[in-house]
Amino acid sequence: MKILAIETSCDETAISIIEATGDFPDATYEVLGNALHSQIAIHVEYGGVFPALAKREHAKKLVPMLTQALSEAELLEEGDHNLTNEQTEKISTILYREPDLSETMLEFFNKYEQPEFDLIAVTSGPGLEPALWVGVNFAKTLAAIWNTPVVPVNHMEGHILASIFDIERDDQLAEISLPAISLLISGGHTELILMNEWGHYEKIGQTLDDAVGEAYDKVARMMDIPYPGGPEIGRLAGLARQQKLPTYADLPRPMLNSDDLNFSFSGLKTAVRYKVADQVLTGEEKQALARDFEDAVTEVLLKKAARALTEYGAKTFIVGGGVSANQHLRQSFNAKLLESHPDVTVYFPHRAMSTDNSVMIALAGHARAAGALAPAAGQLIKADGNRSLATE
Ligand code: KG4
Ligand code: ZN
């Protein structure tokens, strides 16, 4: 089954083409084309993702990403098509809020032959709603003109599958034992998810305020590190560990001992703010503070992870979302979680699959292929910024 996957939930415009052989979850996946445009440079001056700009940039980059992915997959073939009036009208109706995208899609359809896809998978949530809508409307247009079924994918299900997909070795999903627990940590989410069977999720814990990635980015900003600060905080913290710098800030571990699986990071963020105040930090102070912050975050995440594993007797622990790229977190989970729970297998995504991408959307699309909608019914798909895994 050939799948075209589209991701526009935040600040990456990504399109992948994947060939799935066999049934989910035992299929083999081949990535035929993979195009990704990061908008980070555009959002840097705002210190975070600016939704209206994200939407405009997605609209600008979707067709170039599509042609790039098609070309990589050797599916881009020029022809001399002429859309019927009815088709042209359909495109402008679906894309009436995106006139520029409508224009470039008309050109695209008139210039290239129709590639054959069995399924179009598109992220419909959670994420920034204006950004999601562009991707969803783009998918609807492709589905309508190519007469291809379309499936709306949950971005967080994509992150879970990304973490158990071995893109380098055998292009398959790991054979995990269920129940599994997943810790999803990204710019917008921090949650513990219980999966008793494939595709059924229960939220067993979540942040009561900031997401971990958000805390990383805000702390970075306090230290004058440009958006997204997460990776740079991780790098600075690594330098502090290498040099064994002394503690700079005695930071709290919010909700470490609370009798539940929830988290809170805003108090930790505020503690960093008080410590920084209006000082100009030296290089070493920055490194030490980054390390102290990272240690506090990691300790809380580890403790709740261990608690969840014990409470639910799970043998699989899956870490996913952008923050799972963090080096210290990876090392700590692989060492300490396995110390307290030696019979558990811990999964982290391949580095290229930890932040937002569309390969994971293709995997989730394949998992949900049975629920795909015919092109006409697909017109009813809605973007949902708050789409939750707990209702899947
Ligand atoms: O999953 P993702 O790409 O986008 C969302 O769905 O939010 O996650 C982005 C988040 C950002 O907050 C970014 O700072 C954080 O992941 N992040 C990291 C690292 N790489 C990305 N945080 C800590 N260490 C990293 N190496
Ligand atoms: Zn994400």
Q: What is the mean pLDDT of the chain?
A: 96
What is the reported pLDDT for 108? 97
Domains and CATH numbers, the chain: 2-160+354-391 (3.30.420.40), 169-349 (3.30.420.40)
Half-sphere exposure of residue 133, counting CA atoms within 13 Å on the CB side?
A: 13
Instruction: For residue 250, give the nearest of 303, 292, 299, 302 by alpha carbon.
Output: 292
d(CA 110, CA 102): 12
For the entire predicted model, the pTM comes to 0.96
Helix (H, G, I), strand (E, B) or coil at 106: helix
Identify which has the larger pLDDT, 233 or 44.
233
| Ligand 2 centroid from CA 312, angstroms | 26
Residues 255-271, mean pLDDT to the nearest whole number:
97
Which ligand 1 atom sits nearest the alpha carbon of residue 11?
4
Burial of residue 166 (CB within 10 Å: 0-12, 13-18, 19+) is: middle
Cα–ligand 1 centroid distance for 4 (angstroms): 25
So what's the pLDDT on residue 76? 97
Residue 362 has pLDDT above 90, yes or no: yes
Find the 354 Cα to ligand 1 centroid distance in Å.
8
Q: How far apart are alpha carbons 314 and 132 in whole angstroms?
A: 33
- The answer to whether 157 touches 364, Cβ cutoff 8 Å, is yes
Mutate to test the pocket of ligand 1, among 161, 163, 186, 294 (most ligand atoms within 8 A of CB): 186
So what's the pLDDT on residue 391? 82
Residue minimizing CA distance to atom 16 of ligand 1 = 322
Residue 169, pLDDT above cutoff 80: no
Q: Which ligand is nearest to the CA of 355?
A: 1
Average confidence (pLDDT) over 12-32: 97
Residue 117 Cα, ligand 1 centroid: separation in angstroms?
31
Residues 191, 201: contact at Cβ < 8 Å?
Answer: no
pLDDT at residue 80 in the model: 81
Nearest-CA residue for ligand 1 atom 2 is 322
